[in-house]
């Protein structure tokens, strides 16, 4: 099994097979519009503009599980991201990433890479949110902007802390491209 075996819901609620991205490098991110990390949209868009022509796709999955920081409809979220951050990468329907209602894609991603990697800044961020996660299970997504890097064969190449800024992934993306 790999990421291409999954079907998700597009922003307008239609079934969308990730098989369409076969052969690309993917960066899968759970996002939020009212989070202290929301400015990471700028870094994500910069990566997308720089590498999309070489086969990078960024897949944005809004998630409202972390203190309700992704309020609004899918249309409102898309409007906000487009107007405030100029995002052009694909955005999918709002989902859960943890718990009994977690989207099957994120269940699989967490099984493939149960631990986050990150730099000192990311580890510092994780210490701050740990207090808010008293009921988190091992392997759970820790916060908004958790990142999974997928190679061209559809396999998880890495999982990265929400606190890791997108630009810090450039070297890893370059290796996979």
Q: Point out the residues that are catalytic.
A: 35
**CA distances in angstroms from 43 to 30, 115, 127, listed in the order given:** 14, 22, 23
What is the total residue count of the chain?
A: 177
83-to-33, 49, 86, 139, 148 alpha-carbon distances in Å: 12, 16, 6, 34, 25
Q: Are 58 and 101 in contact (CB under 8 A)?
A: no
- Helix (H/G/I), strand (E/B), else coil: 58: strand
Residue 160, C-beta contacts closer than 8 angstroms, at least 6 positions apart: 116, 117, 118, 122, 146, 147, 148, 149, 169
């Amino acid at each position: 099994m790999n990421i291409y075996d999954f079907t998700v819901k597009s922003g307008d609620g239609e079934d969308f097979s990730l098989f369409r991205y076969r052969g690309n490098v993917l960066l899968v991110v759970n996002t939020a519009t009212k989070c202290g990390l929301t400015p990471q949209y700028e870094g994500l868009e910069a990566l997308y503009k720089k590498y999309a022509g070489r086969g990078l796709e960024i897949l944005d999955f809004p998630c409202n599980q972390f203190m309700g920081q992704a309020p609004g409809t899918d249309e409102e979220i898309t409007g906000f991201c487009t107007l405030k951050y100029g995002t052009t990468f694909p955005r999918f329907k709002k989902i859960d990433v943890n718990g009994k209602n977690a989207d099957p894609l994120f269940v699989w991603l967490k099984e493939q890479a149960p631990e986050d990697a990150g730099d000192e800044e990311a580890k510092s961020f994780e210490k701050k949110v740990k207090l808010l996660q008293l009921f988190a299970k091992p392997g759970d997504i820790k916060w908004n902007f958790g990142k999974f890097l997928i190679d061209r064969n559809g396999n998880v190449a890495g999982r990265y802390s929400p606190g890791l800024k997108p630009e810090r992934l450039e070297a890893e993306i370059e290796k996979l491209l």
